[in-house]
Amino acid sequence: MSSCCGTETIEITTEQPRIAGKLQTVALVGPPNSGKSTLFNRLTGLRQKVANYPGVTVEQHTGRMKGIGRADLLLVDLPGIYSFDSYSEDARVTVDVLKGEMPGTPKPDAVLLVLDSLHLRRQLMLAAPVLALGLPTLVLLNMSDLMESRGGEVDPLALAQELGTPVAKISAARGVGMDAIAQFLQRKSGEAEALQGATQPQRLELPVMGNARSYRQWATGISSRTRYKAPLSSEWTQRIDSVLLHPVWGPLTFLMVVFAVFQAVFTIGNPLSDAFGNVLYALGDLVGRFLGHGWLQSFLVNGVWRGVASVLVFLPQILLLFLFIGVLEDSGYLARAALIADRFMRTIGLNGKAFIPLLSAYACAVPAIMATRTIENKRDRYATILVAPFMTCSARLPIYMLIIAAFVPNRPVLGDLLGLQATALLGLYVLGFLAAVVTARLLKSSILKASSTPFILELPQYRMPTLRSLAMRLYDRGKMFTQKAGTIILSVTVVLWVLANVPFHTTLADSLIGRLGHLIEPAIAPLGFNWKIGIGLISSIVAREVIVGTLGTLYGADPATQALHLQAALRHGMTLGGAMALLVFFAFAMQCTSTLAIVKRETNSWRWPALQFAYMSVLAYLGALATNQIILHFLR
């Protein structure tokens, strides 16, 4: 049969014509936001990112299924898809892996089809093309606990009859129904070995491939025949949206939350950070006392420890920021933010969907650039990739906090609601955002001009972020930050200390690093930077936080400022103009090798990262120059 809306019968054989038919690789397939990554984490014991918006996973992840004692099986987590049309880059990944055309990922021998049981009628549409693959498939009705608590009903047995494949109710978030998955895999491993050569033809009525209309009729038919009763829609989502998407209350609530977060970074984060810093420095002094006065003490305490500790102290503020981002992503608000921003994004020539990667760039530009894979239009995607590093990532926080705490007085601006320091930080975030907007506008009206693509975005239901998932996020981010301090920053400070002490028995100014610093000083003097800052600018090309470690080491190596904390030491050698110029420099500059590498990977050429680096560096230099000169001449 090949009429547009009829069904066709496809002969499916359960035996696989592959290496001895052994079950080795299992793929997680399903529509976006149906809980595949949550299940992946459950089954493998790994921790891939999960959040409540469609498009969190944008590339394949693999792991051994240790969570259910099947370390012999490889599980592949895939980006969510609506159909096998590869509409966007992330969907293409899923289709390629399932076809066995993704280098480095073996072709799956079995499929776990994860469907959100709250919306089974539409989610079943994807079952048609997945079953047509002919692979052994287990259909998993995820979030079944939530569905039942809202009065929904589903009959897995009847559904299994209709689909000709086993069906199980599970809850990936709570770990319910994992035994059904283990059983299925057990049976398939056994079957695959026992049935070598023997085929077991199965007749299954499937709709005409590729036709959405016939998929839907098929899915509707099945859900009504199996007496699927959809749960009542969450009233909470409607109620929350009537406030958060309200023309007046929506934006107002958003602003209040943003103010609260920035203020919290100072009122809660700073005291914590100071206390943490005191502990770290005391620890250094303690070790120093054992070492006595010698080059070893100078190396370990004044060099390495000061450098690493000066970055580590910002851990509390970074965690606060990630707590906020976590709530934003897990609750389901992120998609709403994209909806609100669409009108504005359109005026700068970008799609509202680009707002999601841009918002996640507040954490780090690297995952944000990968998240652009969900943007369908290639030119829109490239424009978003190019502007993403302007968004204030968490790696800028240490230098921002250091300079603001040292140079901006803490006066109230909006009463107790917002202080001057928090306002300064907010201003830097706005500055970065404006740079991104203007650049996007320029790109979209020149080299990346394209006709506007439609904005199609699915809004997830609101969910209460769980303490467990927030705690996991903070733990992971804290670990990453500490590891970075212990590796990259540690190595840079070691190198710097050596350069600062070679040749032996010279002053800092005559050491190798001092001579290099003085060499570049003329270029940066108009910006209000001394040579130590200059060295910091060079070393922080590796990663932005490195400048704080560098300054910690260099001021620690200088006898004049050795006894001072870094904040006080900075006030020693810097004017207000230079300090503000440094902030502007970091708002614009592309000081991150990881970002350059990921841009190269995602755009498949060095052209884009090179352009990006050059553009951002020039902008940073000119911005810092203007800032210093204006303060120098007009604010005296």
Partner 1 sequence: MRAIWSYLSYHEPWAMGTVRALSELPVGTAGVVESLDLPDAVQHHLMHMGFVPEARVVVVRRAPAGDPTVYSIDGFEIALRRETASSIVVRATEDL
The phi and psi torsions of 353 (rounded to 5 degrees) equal -65, -25
Q: What residues contact 603, with CB distance under 8 A and at least 6 apart?
A: 382, 385, 609
Least Cβ distance, residue 27 to partner 1 (angstroms): 19
445-449 — which CB contacts under 8 Å span 24+ positions? 445/349, 448/379, 448/380, 448/382, 448/383, 449/379
Least Cβ distance, residue 597 to partner 1 (angstroms): 31
Q: From CA 187, how far away is CA 157, in angstroms rounded?
A: 18
Least Cβ distance, residue 248 to partner 1 (angstroms): 8
Q: From CA 221, how far away is CA 209, in angstroms rounded?
A: 16
- Whose CA is closest to 170, among 42, 26, 29, 66? 42
Distances (CA, A) of 419 to 251, 287, 423: 21, 38, 6
Cα 629 from chain centroid (whole Å): 37
Task: Answer whether 54's CB lies under 8 Å from 460's CB.
Answer: yes
Q: What angle do CA 49, 50, 54 make, to 5 degrees?
A: 120
Task: Answer whether 540's CB lies under 8 Å from 546's CB.
Answer: yes
User: Of 170 and 335, which CB lies nearer to partner 1 in the complex structure?
Assistant: 335
User: Of 332 and 389, which CB lies nearer to partner 1 in the complex structure?
Assistant: 332
User: Of 16 and 123, which CB lies nearer to partner 1 in the complex structure?
Assistant: 123
197: left (phi over 0), alpha (psi -120 to 50) or beta: left
Least Cβ distance, residue 98 to partner 1 (angstroms): 16
User: Of 51 and 574, which CB lies nearer to partner 1 in the complex structure?
Assistant: 51
Least Cβ distance, residue 139 to partner 1 (angstroms): 18
What residues line the site for partner 1 (CB under 8 A)? 82-83, 85, 87, 118-119, 121-122, 125, 212-213, 215-216, 230, 233, 237-238, 241-242, 245-248, 250-251, 339-340, 342-344, 346, 352, 376, 453-459, 461
Task: Answer whether 98's CB lies under 8 Å from 131's CB.
Answer: no
User: Of 364 and 437, which CB lies nearer to partner 1 in the complex structure?
Assistant: 437
User: Of 121 and 379, which CB lies nearer to partner 1 in the complex structure?
Assistant: 121
Least Cβ distance, residue 493 to partner 1 (angstroms): 48
Least Cβ distance, residue 59 to partner 1 (angstroms): 20
User: Of 228 and 613, which CB lies nearer to partner 1 in the complex structure?
Assistant: 228
User: Of 233 and 278, which CB lies nearer to partner 1 in the complex structure?
Assistant: 233
Least Cβ distance, residue 374 to partner 1 (angstroms): 12
